[in-house]
Structure formats: structure tokens, C-alpha cells
Structure 1
């Protein structure tokens, strides 16, 4: 299904929703408006606040990337109470078509248009990105999103995953992690339990409790700021990087990501220097009997401020090139 222009573009996560309009085929997205997801009861209200602005271009269709599992009928955000009914959204705004995709579909597409030589777009934390072979995108933020971009002849297949919800736990005899305390507090541990913004807070609070230190952190920015001077917060960030490296390396093995591993989301861009250090790299590469292969895998952090919006535009600019799961509605 071809989406008629102008197209409303949206990147909707558990914390923020971002909106733009692509006015014409091959064009550039217009100015991006970012609003807190919690500021609206649902997507229709947030979209209405955007399209009813005096200077807004009225869209004919919508391409919505949402942080949730795309299912027939109603799609729900994983970490916020919003519900998405493509037909209801289309009818509310008189649209001709609506497409829903997981938010990591455009992030995977974005790695095809980001400039690997521009440090404002990609920060190297390992070997240089060459773009050969499958590319894996992983993003700790409100949750833990993941997708893989797989070459298939002249086309590119984007496979979204629920990798963030697989079980997660210790794999070294003594890694100085409070696993028992975390399991007692959280029950089943998943990768997202720790490798996310809320996960970073869980981690620092568990470390503080086991050391008898004051537990004074309630948000990821507080932990990251505290890591400048507080030894517990600093250790939590380094443990976070180590666990992220371990998980990213495991996923690189699963998907044979010889084209590289790309870290997105709200946390990785703020800890690039830590991710260039030993905790991340050693855990990423320590995959016997494939250590030599892991040493060669490209690694980068996506620094581009709004990669998903550019990824949505890239998908529309070259529709025949990409294959990806989506839910479509047409009037």
C-alpha cells in the first residue's frame, strides 16, 4: 500500500511522542514536535493537538511507529496506556490510509541513511561501520527495543523482535551483581528489567541497598548525573554498560550481525565514553569460541537526535527496497 502525501510521521514511545509531516515524495520531513506521552490520554488527542496547529500541513495519510507489539486490531504501547486503532485514527482525521509499525522498524531503516563518517550522527565504540551483512539495532530507553536489518538480494528485510523480554541473569561465577536482591524485588528478570532507563534505577538502588548506602536516585538522569561523583552511581553505570555489552554481543551472535551493532535509545548517547571502555567491549567480545569474530564486529552509538523520523522518511522514499511487518488500514 502506498501512502499518499502529505504523510503524518510519528515516533511514539512510552515517554515521548514525536510528530512531523513529509510533504511530498522524496522530500524532507518538516519540523518535529516532541510532546510527553503522559500529557495525552491517547494517540488521537496527541495527533489532534499537532494537526490542529495554525501552521500545520494537513496530512492525507499517517505512518506511525509505536513502541509496542504490532497485532491485528488494537495495538498497545508496552510501557504506557495508549491504544492504537488504525481505522479509528484514520476516520478521526479523514485520512486515506494509516500504517502502524513497531518503532524499531524505522530505526533499522535509519542506519541505511546515517553517515558513518559524521560523528554527529554515529559515534564509533568499536571497529568502523562498513555496512556489510546483517545490522542489529538495540535501544535502552523507557524499554529495550531491538530489530535486525537483513540483506536479501537487492532488498532489505527488517525483522522486529521482543528481545528485551527474554530471560536475563548471571553467567559468571562472581560478577558482584546483586542478582538475589533484584530477583526478590522483580520476580522474573528480563533484559529490559535492567537494560532500560527504569532498569538503571533498579540497578543503582539494588547496589546501594546491598552496600548499606543511601538510596537517593529515582530517575535515570539522576543516576547519570550522580555517576560524576558518587561511587555507587558510577559503579551502576559501569555495570549497566557491561551487561549491555554482554547482551548486545549475544544478539550479534544470534543474528550474525557482521554489518554492525547500533545502540539507540535515550541512555547510550549519554554514556558514549563509558561504552568505549573495557566493561562494554570485554563483555561484548567474550564469546568463546567466537572471540576473534566478535573483535571485528562494528559497533556504534546513534547520536542523530531524531533517527526514527528520518527512518520513516527513508522507508517511504524507497518502498520497494524494504520488507517489514506492518498493519495497514485504507479508507
Structure 2
């Protein structure tokens, strides 16, 4: 377990209660504990784990709670975790890219929580956006949003997640989506060859997630390498456990890595355009995930921008829509803790 302290010291009497928020992804599992006061949360500390080293979520929660008791002398009453994948039952869900499931009733009983709930990970991110400040966002495109306009969240990592945010008159309520698994729309022979390469021997179509994820970046690189040949960095990319990270590392100096991200930006721009039009998200498109945070300039690139605005009709919707890259990785913990406060109301 790795920990980060967000508040060095606290006065327990300053808070009404303490809540737990979690984010369970295919690569990382993060647990945060926040103090709640008058419906607002303050993140106190967070604990971070490699998901595939865990046999279930319970050991991570146990370590995180023990840390809070030892450091602050606090007990947690409620919790919410976001899970990467479809959540049709808030009591039990299996992350898409992990071998184990999260059982809310088991966790509630084991840790004595008053309430514990599971949500989709991008619903959780959506709940965390209003807790962000200007320093937590990179503006990739200016826009002209008006009060109450719909918003959308999209992000790539192990997979590709989406959520729509609808304003209910007081705050934004997230609506789930599994649009990351929608078919990738092919426009030309290059796209067709890329899609065929990514789906391999599958009979099902290539999806957005096949391109706009960590493995998608590696797949685009492999497709281009077969066409363009190797470069000085190819051996390092192929030999790396996380090839996407190496491609990102050299995207400004290696021609094959540079072209990989140019294709990635173009495909992401197309996906973002379609999502904004489907959701009428003129209040803003928020791009989340580690890939975006580490490569934020890609979303202000000509390749992304040209594709995002490439629409025969309703281009004005796209022009009005601001695009923000979320650079604060704790947004999911903010959102999960906010959700835990909501279920206590």
C-alpha cells in the first residue's frame, strides 16, 4: 500500500462524519477517506494499490481504515466505490478487467458500515468534477457554455469510460454509459486496415475502446510499425510491460511514436465529437484518465481539433463546447466521497 496525506492534522469535532470513497480499476485500486461537514467533503488521505495484487477489495479497505485509525483516530460510517464496468446492481458488480467481484453487502457486514454502495467509475468521476479547481484542469478548447447545459465525461486507461451529466436544477446528476464499447466508425481505407488489425481474429467490429485505451495505443503503434518499419525505439516499446507509456514518453522525438499519437488524437476527436452531439454536452466535455493527464497537449492538437469540429450539421454545438482535461487524479476519490455523503442524507 502506498499512502498520500492530504490533511496533516485534523480536529475530529470539525466534521459531522467520515466517509470512504474508492475507485476500482483494471490497473489501480484507490481508496480515500474524507471528513464530511454540511454536505461537503474534505479528502484526508488516500491509499493506493495494484489491482491485480489484490484477491478482493476487502484487504485494501482494511489497510486504508487501519491507517486512518492509527493516524487520525477516526472511524468511517459509510462508503461508495466506483467500479470500471457496467453496474446494474449497486450491491454487487464485477470490474471488467479483474477476476474478482465487489460485494457491497459483504463489505458492509465485514466493516460495520451503515451503508455501502457500488457505482460505475465514470459516474463517480462525474460526481467529482464540481470539487475541482482551475489548477486541476487543462483547457484544451475554449467554449461558450451557459448555466445548466449538459456535460459529458470520457476517459481512457485500461478501457474507455463515458458518462453524461444532466443538471437537475441544483447539481449535476451522472447518467451511466457503456458507449466506449460502441463500434469505431471507419471513414477510409486506413481506418479499415487499422480496425481489422485491432480486432484480429474476432468477428465482432472494432470498438472505440480498442483504439482509445492503453492497449489501443500499442495496437496503433503495431499497425504503423508493420507499414512504416521499426525505429530506434521499437525494441524498447515491444519489450516494455507498459508499451503505451513508452510510446507516450517518446511521442515528441520518435517518428513512429509521434504518428501513433497523431492517429490516436484523430480517433479520439471523432469519438469526442459523436459523444458531445449525442449528449448535447455544450456545458463541457471533461476528459479523464492517466493517458489524458500525461498527454494533455494531444487534446489541443490540430489532429484532435480538426476531427472534433468535422461535422456537416450542428457544428455550432461543437464550437460552443469547452473541452477540459482533468489533471487531478483524485477526481474519482472526490466523487466517491461526495456520493457517500449523498447516501447519508
How do 1:63-212 residues align onto structure 2 when only pairs under 5 Å count? Answer: 63-72=80-89, 74-115=92-133, 118=134, 120-128=135-143, 130=145, 132=147, 133-172=149-188, 174=190, 178-184=194-200, 187-188=203-204, 189-212=206-229
> Hey, which of these two has a bigger chunk of helix by percent?
2
1:186 is displaced (CA, Å) by 5.2
**Within 1, Cα distance between the matches of 2:191 and 2:88?**
39
Q: Deviations over 1:136-170 (max 9, x none)?
A: 00001111111011113335331010011111141
Cα shift readout 1:19-74 (whole Å, capped 9, x = no counterpart): 12123333412111111111211101221222233336331222111112113353
TM-score in terms of structure 2 length: 0.84
- How far 1:277 sits from its partner (Å)? 1.3
**Aligned equivalents of 2:28, 2:144: Cα separation in 1:** 29
Structure-2 change in CA distance of 1:193 and 1:149 (3 Å): same
The 1-side partners of 2:34 and 2:200 are apart by 48
Q: CA deviation at 1:176?
A: 8.8
Offset of residue 130 of structure 1: 4.0
> What TM-score, normalized to structure 1?
0.87
Greater alpha carbon shift after TM alignment, 269-278 vs 232-241: 269-278
What root-mean-square deviation, in Å, do the aligned CA atoms of Structure 1 and Structure 2 show? 2.4
2:53 maps to which of 39, 51, 57: 39
Q: Are 1:242 and 2:266 an aligned pair?
A: yes
1:267–1:187: structure 2 CA closer, same or farther, 3 Å change rule?
Answer: farther
Q: Tell me which residue corresponds to 1:325.
A: none
Q: Is the 8 A contact 2:27 2:158 kept in 1?
A: yes
Q: Is contact 2:286–2:324 with CA below 8 Å preserved after alignment? A: yes
The worse-fitting range, judged by mean Cα deviation, of 143-152 and 218-227 is: 218-227
SS of the residue 1:7 aligns to: strand
Structure 1 unaligned spans of 5+: 322-331
Aligned to 2:23: 11
On the 8 A contact 1:178/1:210 being kept in 2, the answer is no
Q: Which runs of structure 2 are paired with 1:251-266 in the superposition (5 Å)?
A: 251-266=275-290
Q: In the TM superposition, what whole-angstrom CA distance separates every residue of 1:240-291 from its partner, at most 9, and x where no partner exists? A: 1110010011000000111011100111112222221110011111011122
Residue equivalent to 1:301: 325
Q: Is the 8 A contact 1:226 1:233 kept in 2?
A: yes
Work out the CA distance in 2 between the residues paired with 1:235 and 1:185: 25
Moved more, 279-288 or 310-319: 310-319
Contact map agreement 2:251 2:261 (CA 8 A) in 1? yes
Aligned residues: 315
Could you say what secondary structure the match of 2:317 adopts? helix
Structure 2 stretches lacking a partner, 5+ long = 1-15
